[in-house]
Chains A and B, each alone.
Chain A
């Protein structure tokens, strides 16, 4: 697992109050009992950690945030986009 993915897992575990061992790429956030306010907190923590802005809003998510893998992919994409080409 990449450092980035590992960091994302840590944040999901901490802010979603989920056991780290339950977090797998195909795990759905809703199945992990991560509620809407937890998702908002996770987004906030990821933004702080990686210095990115995640275009996520509850009404019209512009990023797919269904599974843990989706979250990792979104963060990877935004971190890559931040680096000068």
Chain B
């Protein structure tokens, strides 16, 4: 049985597996950028003791986090659809990390939902623990999962990758909130944002240094390559200029540069994964990819929808653009 509409034995274009490698990492990048600032909001939330400010944070988080989190599902299912062996080995080899991560997401998502159900200090405190705890552990464990993907069992680089995702999430969270709140709160947020930027850049340098010195996951050569050096240099430039913009109170511009940091981080993750898509097993993109018919099918049916999704997001963020209205989480 053949399907006349789709080529069965050849990819629609010769480089389709590489395009899919890019598409999967694009979904990962969208997730890291978008849910990253949600995590950042959750972590910065702990610095607020004033009920009104907490409500403001939750108002910024409320309408978008769920849609942002769906990028994780898009990333996971696209990885499964194009590179099933990578999906299954990555998750099976890192069982407790993966399950811990999804449980952290459960707490992060439920916290605000719970919080608004009852006007009771004790109750709200527990709900806040869930929200903040989930917002810290989810990026930490997800970053560690990415670290295991890149470096296999080496402990220090793995933990540092987790730390990198946590700190970059604080940067984007602070910039996102600063762009949407009043100047007083924004100037407090930029202090955290700048501190996190420096911590992030330092963390990346230490991580790469560690990888070079220990040759974790045989990645030393890759790290010393020109693309990695270029991306790191660019990250430093973007991070520092973003901090300057923040100092000057240009929060919209700061947000734009802050969102570039996790994007560059995703590119940094992507470089060592090509062409060996799962370094610990030495599996190549071309070995891991599904057969031409299956890949052609997900391309033809999936790519137009992906464009539509990007349009939805433009619409969603358009509707909820501008300063936060103090409606609380429940609207």
Q: Do A and B come from one complex?
A: no
Residues on B close to A: CB < 8 A? Answer: none
Binding site for B on A (CB under 8 A): none
